[in-house]
Chains A and B, each alone.
Chain A
Amino acid sequence: MTVSVTPANFSFVDFDAELIRRIGDGLLEVLGIDRPVHVEVDETTPLGRVRTEIGDTITVRVESGAFEDSRKPRQQSDEATTANLGRALLRARDRISGGFGEAPADDELSLRQIAAWETYCVGRLARMGVPVNQQRWKYNFRNRHGFTDVADAAFERIWASDGLTWGELETVSLEGAGTPS
């Protein structure tokens, strides 16, 4: 399976479509995703949101900030590209490979649910050797679950997990937020 990227050339930022494609290919292999992926970069905005649509092709719509080197504006970062594309693809894989059937659609996820799922994705990426800052994701998790010991314990559990279903993820997240289901 292969990755395609648009635009092929960038005019607002100094990104390399070929590099994005290569990183995507690598991720598909590591993650065992058996479906073509199309990455569409919106280079007109410095924001860093990522949206994914799953069809016969997985389409990942990325705002340029997601692949940007925060140290060097408008330059691409390998690490950010890997981590942010990796997160999107892991989420897509969760949805495709089962166990996440009852997860709400992306735009219906609450901020708490997004934070829990991100934690689950980034924890797995970290174990695959993708460099990530765990504290950053803990801070994000705390902002959505509360700055409490219970929230921190939930974070640790999710971060260390593999093979969770949506139901299991949601249960730990709700416990972390102090509102068990």
Chain B
Amino acid sequence: MRKFFPVDSLARDSRFNQITMKQSQADPRSALIATEEKRPKTNRLQPSRADASDAARSLMHGIFVGEIQALEGAGRTCHDFETGTEAPFALKLDMARQAWDEARHVEISVKLSEWMGTEIGQYAENTVLFEAACSTDPVLRLAGVNRALEGLAIDVFTTMKEFGDIAGDPFLEFCEDWMLADEVTHVKMGSDWLRRITENDPERRKKALEFQSVVDKIFSFGGTRSDSQESPIGLARRFRELAGFSDDEVEDIADVSLRALEERKAFARQAQAEAVEQFSAS
């Protein structure tokens, strides 16, 4: 088995259809830029949305495939780096622990999806999560995956937990509560290792933080997560603090997310104009 596994080789059974972030972002359609009359008042995932249960099911499936990729990423970090010379033994133990946690999260997500009436593979699987787990520097992986991606997981689970709570769904709220506890632990692992490994290597720390912010921006999914009500997912400030983010870091993510939202809207406007132009030319 080789070291470093490419994202396009992730093994899946026939139910799954994978798309890359690039393919998903090329979609010129966007609910964000619809005219006032057509646009819902808020995109935030809450039970008052008319399409709440379908939106929750779709997000749940996104969580499910995200958990699979998180499991795969943590597993790969156990394998890809030589103990001692490339990654500390204790870091790899943390990653093995995370693999178990993510395996449980997959189990939980499968059960929840069944409960919500979603079939495995019913939605396309965006492989962006694993893409961040492909870095050849374990510190970058931890910054990109544990801090950026699992930070997003904290935001998503918080939103889902509130959703379950308001809707009175006993399982959703219960499961998200448990998964949230694990994710806070994973983000903290990322924060701790980043600090420890780069203690005497400011250059490497800078690179890792830059990578994290790139990933943060990608994971803002063009505005899917931000403080704005236009975003389906909110920013879970309190849990992020628990996970080792400083106030400044949380503010930075808030800024990046809002910028990503605006960029996504601008992109969609342009892509739609181009599509119309191409169509009228043909």
Binding site for B on A (CB under 8 A): 9, 11-13, 42-49, 64, 70-74, 111, 114, 133-140, 142-143, 146-147
CB of A71 within 8 A of CB of B122, answer yes
- Which one, B17, B31, B123, contacts A45 given CB within 8 A? B31
In the assembly, what is the distance between CA of A124 and CA of B19, in Å?
A: 35
CB of A70 within 8 A of CB of B58, answer yes
CB of B118 within 8 A of CB of A73, answer no
The residue of chain B having its C-beta at the shortest distance from the C-beta of A151 within the complex is B168
CB of B121 within 8 A of CB of A42, answer no
CB of B29 within 8 A of CB of A45, answer yes
CB of A45 within 8 A of CB of B167, answer no
- Which one, A9, A13, A114, A135, contacts B29 given CB within 8 A? A13
Tell me if B's interface is mostly helix, strand, loop or mixed: loop
A-B contact count (CB 8 A): 92
**Is the CB of B270 closer than 8 A to any CB of chain A?**
no
CB of B50 within 8 A of CB of A73, answer no
19 contacts between A and B (CB under 8 A): A11-B279, A44-B272, A45-B34, A46-B29, A46-B30, A47-B31, A49-B50, A70-B124, A71-B123, A71-B124, A72-B124, A73-B19, A73-B23, A114-B50, A134-B117, A136-B53, A139-B53, A143-B52, A147-B170
- Going nearest first, the 9 A-B pairs with the smallest beta carbon separation are A136-B117, A135-B117, A11-B279, A140-B53, A46-B29, A71-B17, A70-B123, A11-B275, A139-B117
CB of A137 within 8 A of CB of B117, answer yes
* Minimum distance in angstroms from B38 CB to a CB of chain A: 7
B262-282, CB under 8 A of A: which get 1 and which 0? 000000000010011011000
B51-85, CB under 8 A of A: which get 1 and which 0? 11110011000000000000000000000000000
CB-defined contacts of B244 to chain A, threshold 8 Å: none
CB-defined contacts of B121 to chain A, threshold 8 Å: 71
CB-defined contacts of A42 to chain B, threshold 8 Å: 38
**Is the CB of B100 closer than 8 A to any CB of chain A?**
no
CB of B47 within 8 A of CB of A143, answer yes
Beyond contacts A12-B272, A139-B116, A147-B168: 10 other A-B pairs, Cβ-Cβ < 8 A, are A44-B28, A45-B34, A48-B51, A49-B50, A73-B124, A135-B114, A135-B117, A139-B57, A142-B169, A143-B52
CB of A12 within 8 A of CB of B53, answer no
* Minimum distance in angstroms from A108 CB to a CB of chain B: 13
Which B residues between 11 and 45 are near A, CB-CB below 8 angstroms? 17, 19, 23-24, 27-31, 34, 38, 40
CB of B17 within 8 A of CB of A72, answer yes
* Minimum distance in angstroms from A106 CB to a CB of chain B: 11
CB of B124 within 8 A of CB of A45, answer no
In the assembly, what is the distance between CA of A114 and CA of B131, in Å?
A: 41
